[in-house]
Structure 1
């Protein structure tokens, strides 16, 4: 129990932004993984976009961010790679949501696109506040 308390304390005091971003990535990945027909446009890319690899990649990056945030090693290059990967995934997902909203006219897809855009901006904020070099 003491080890769990220390882990939670370390998680929220040292790198809370990374942990929140990681949890968000896991949440988006889980939605994509569970829903087999989430994407319906463009028709030629539906099979690729609905592949479990897309959702799994979101989950893997989210787990990586959480593991990085609780690790004692905290390599700068690992942080940079995880944050850039999450930015690429969130930008692609936000773009896909806006395209789907434009094609279908469904307001919940517009909302999802804006929410993922806000998470992307949060990711950019975390990137800007992260260390860039070992000094």
Structure 2
């Protein structure tokens, strides 16, 4: 009878062990399913964030390019204006030289005007 009792206990122990293993496998499968689901959610969020950052970078590049072109055009306009002003000042200086030669201006008056004009160039 002692052997029969031991066999019954072993069978019950093995059944409990089988149930525990099945329960463990079931929990592992559930954990794996959750991990796959969360991984998919994380991948989708990363994809969304990546797209948002890419779009923002493209927009900022366009803004920077626009501002850069505007600054370059402003600089070109300023240089053109300075060149025009310099040419006008040189023309004025030539006219003053002619007036000096014609005796309308004295040498002193011419030198004063010349100095003033050259200081603006």
> Scaled by the length of structure 1, what TM-score is found?
0.30
Greater radius of gyration (CA): 2
> Scaled by the length of structure 2, what TM-score is found?
0.32
Identify the structure with bigger relative contact order (alpha carbons < 8 Å, sequence gap 6+): 1
